[in-house]
A and B are shown apart, each in its own frame.
Chain A
């Protein structure tokens, strides 16, 4: 079968803007997108630039945008892409500057990884043998990360705010917060640093990182665990923390959310921020969009309250492996 591949090209020394070029190639059974790129480079255009190394979804070098989604070229089947989309379009990762063709500048990725201090800090002396009680879920699979950058490229918060630490670095931060060997004071310090404006509360929970990660790291779930750990340690003054606590309190009180009270919970005692949201609140009121702050609770709200009290914040739900990570994606 002879198929067309649309590949975005960009040579900063010659081009003002990226442009698409189409290459036609005889596709063989089981061919991956990386196989196709290598063939095109060998046979049609030796200037085509892309990164790869292991060809086995281990090294994380060949992440790129294939038919609009972030994938490892080495484990993406050409045939399945064709069947799913009716075409194969290959572009570099988003949210990172293009160096040439499909190769992007990963410097900001590594800088953010360094920024979260990716090593154990002061060790907890009471933990003498960390392997004595093996716990397969200790890191919730974040240690499976191959640092391919797919999650950062897919991150919608990162797109709107390039300073955001992003899913990969934050998942890495969780790996150290979860490590039983790290000292308690160091852990609190780490979580305090992550309260900064570019930290854990910037995530909008869009699930893109969870969807595209080729190793089922679920970075967003790691960010949620960091938020929970921060709140449990009393780091509750950020708008994000107030949102989570206020939301839970409102549901416990009424059984459902009251949108008239929610903004007040997030804004807290800050008069300037209250005045900022007030005009919208008044327009909503005028349009009949503000529920009564006195609205009655649902039937059985006592049970809802008891559920949210009894289950407690500490228990965690085991990580369910959700993807078959060994196979080419379909």
Chain B
């Protein structure tokens, strides 16, 4: 299974741990990648606010680069997935639009023929790798850890741009959390907005959204949160302390990127997953996982629980 990896800006910028942890785990899941190193920003929906057709051309340029190497695109960012999924749908549905956009990317010798699929790592793990294969790779079962999924907006809505999860009742994150042996936490905020798109200019609104979601997860008993979107991660991790002050609550909830959670369950050392870069300490979680690992490692002095049972 081979994909053209589109890392997106955040994984190459403010959340390098997302890129690092992705590269640390995909091989074990049988995913090979060729990185699209000349791809641009997807526009994140922001470029499109000013220049809709220019933003579509950025995506078309990336798709044409993937077509050139004959691969589908793998994203690791919920926002990239939403923006590029939407762009792909529009370009495939409207030949006149595709023609206009192709004129913009032609001078570089590129043409998009409309044959590429864009898939998030989460979807590839659930549908292509398969949950059974993932379970086989789990070295450290996360036991009774309660993990709150945080989907973020663009991997769910509008659903006709994505076509994977049911936006009213998404299940892919829960399936992955169960496959690594943890227990998914249910709470209303899991499909809501982290506030990131307006966090710089409307911090009070964004922090209320952010803090409310984190508190709901915490109140529902979450030991950690996991998200498939690095922009959500920036909001939930970097701004968590401010959000806690804003809503006057104690939060201190570690937030993992999806591949970091997979890596921890696969027994990849925490340092290789970049968790030290987070602003909210992941140490309590690592410690809890380590305790569980020690419990499961048979002592050299006793036959342990494997074998005869």
Q: Which residues of A contact B (CB under 8 A)?
A: 67-69, 84-85, 156-157, 159-161, 164, 201-208, 210-211, 224, 227-228, 231, 238-240, 242-245, 247-248, 251, 255-260, 262-263, 266-267, 277, 280, 283-284, 287-291, 298-301, 303-304, 306-308, 310-313, 315-318, 320, 322-323
Residues of A within 8 A of B10 (CB): 257, 259
Give min CB distance, A287 to chain B, whole Å: 5
Residues of A within 8 A of B12 (CB): 256, 291
Give min CB distance, B193 to chain A, whole Å: 4
Which A residue's beta carbon lies closest to that of B159?
A211
Q: Count A/B pairs, Cβ under 8 Å.
A: 207
Q: Are B37 and A308 in contact (CB under 8 A)?
A: no
* Known contacts A84-B169, A251-B47; is-contact A289 B105 (Cβ 8 Å): no
* Known contacts A245-B50, A313-B51; is-contact A239 B202 (Cβ 8 Å): yes
Taking a contact as CB atoms closer than 8 A, the residue among B57, B107, B160, B195 that contacts A322 in the complex is: B160
- In the complex, identify which listed stretch (B21-29, B133-141, B204-212, B293-301) lies at the interface while the others stay far away: B204-212
Residues of B within 8 A of A323 (CB): 160
Q: Are A303 and B61 in contact (CB under 8 A)?
A: yes
Q: Which of B97, B192, B278 has most A Cβ within 10 Å?
A: B192
* Known contacts A160-B205, A204-B206, A248-B46; is-contact A303 B105 (Cβ 8 Å): yes
Q: Are B56 and A69 in contact (CB under 8 A)?
A: no
Q: Are B154 and A288 in contact (CB under 8 A)?
A: no
Q: Which of B37, B48, B52 has most A Cβ within 10 Å?
A: B52
* Known contacts A85-B169, A161-B205, A310-B104; is-contact A290 B40 (Cβ 8 Å): no
* Known contacts A156-B209, A207-B158, A256-B9; is-contact A308 B54 (Cβ 8 Å): yes
A selection of 10 A-B contacts at a CB cut-off of 8 Å is A202-B202, A238-B201, A251-B41, A259-B14, A284-B238, A291-B12, A299-B38, A303-B61, A308-B54, A317-B52
* Known contacts A210-B157, A211-B167, A288-B277; is-contact A243 B46 (Cβ 8 Å): yes
* Known contacts A244-B49, A258-B13; is-contact A206 B168 (Cβ 8 Å): no
Give min CB distance, B232 to chain A, whole Å: 11
Q: Are A204 and B209 in contact (CB under 8 A)?
A: yes
Q: Are A201 and B198 in contact (CB under 8 A)?
A: yes
Residues of A within 8 A of B69 (CB): none
Taking a contact as CB atoms closer than 8 A, the residue among B13, B160, B192 that contacts A206 in the complex is: B192
Q: Are A160 and B16 in contact (CB under 8 A)?
A: no
Q: Which of A67, A207, A211 has most B Cβ within 10 Å?
A: A207
* Assembly CA distance A247 to B277 (angstroms): 25
Q: Which of B10, B14, B48, B56 has most A Cβ within 10 Å?
A: B14
Residues of A within 8 A of B181 (CB): none
Give min CB distance, B46 to chain A, whole Å: 4
Q: Tell me the residues in window 68-90 of chain B with beta carbons closer than 8 Å to chain A beta carbons.
A: 82, 90
* Assembly CA distance A87 to B24 (angstroms): 41
Q: Are A289 and B238 in contact (CB under 8 A)?
A: yes
* Assembly CA distance A300 to B110 (angstroms): 12
Q: Are B201 and A247 in contact (CB under 8 A)?
A: no
Q: Tell me the residues in window 112-151 of chain B with beta carbons closer than 8 Å to chain A beta carbons.
A: none
Interface size range on B against A: 35 or more
Q: Are B37 and A298 in contact (CB under 8 A)?
A: yes
Which A residue's beta carbon lies closest to that of B188?
A68
Q: Are A255 and B154 in contact (CB under 8 A)?
A: no
* Known contacts A84-B169, A245-B50, A303-B108; is-contact A205 B153 (Cβ 8 Å): yes
Q: Are A280 and B209 in contact (CB under 8 A)?
A: no
Q: Are A280 and B46 in contact (CB under 8 A)?
A: no
* Assembly CA distance A112 to B239 (angstroms): 31
Q: Are B197 and A290 in contact (CB under 8 A)?
A: no
* Assembly CA distance A307 to B101 (angstroms): 9
Which B residue's beta carbon lies closest to that of A276?
B203
Q: Are B46 and A289 in contact (CB under 8 A)?
A: no
Q: Are B160 and A239 in contact (CB under 8 A)?
A: no
Residues of A within 8 A of B288 (CB): none
Residues of B within 8 A of A298 (CB): 37-40
Residues of A within 8 A of B166 (CB): 84
Give min CB distance, B151 to chain A, whole Å: 11
Q: Are A202 and B205 in contact (CB under 8 A)?
A: yes
Residue B279 is within 8 A (CB to CB) of chain A in the complex: yes
Taking a contact as CB atoms closer than 8 A, the residue among B50, B108, B188 that contacts A248 in the complex is: B50
Q: Are B58 and A307 in contact (CB under 8 A)?
A: yes
Residues of A within 8 A of B277 (CB): 287-289
Residues of A within 8 A of B197 (CB): 204-205
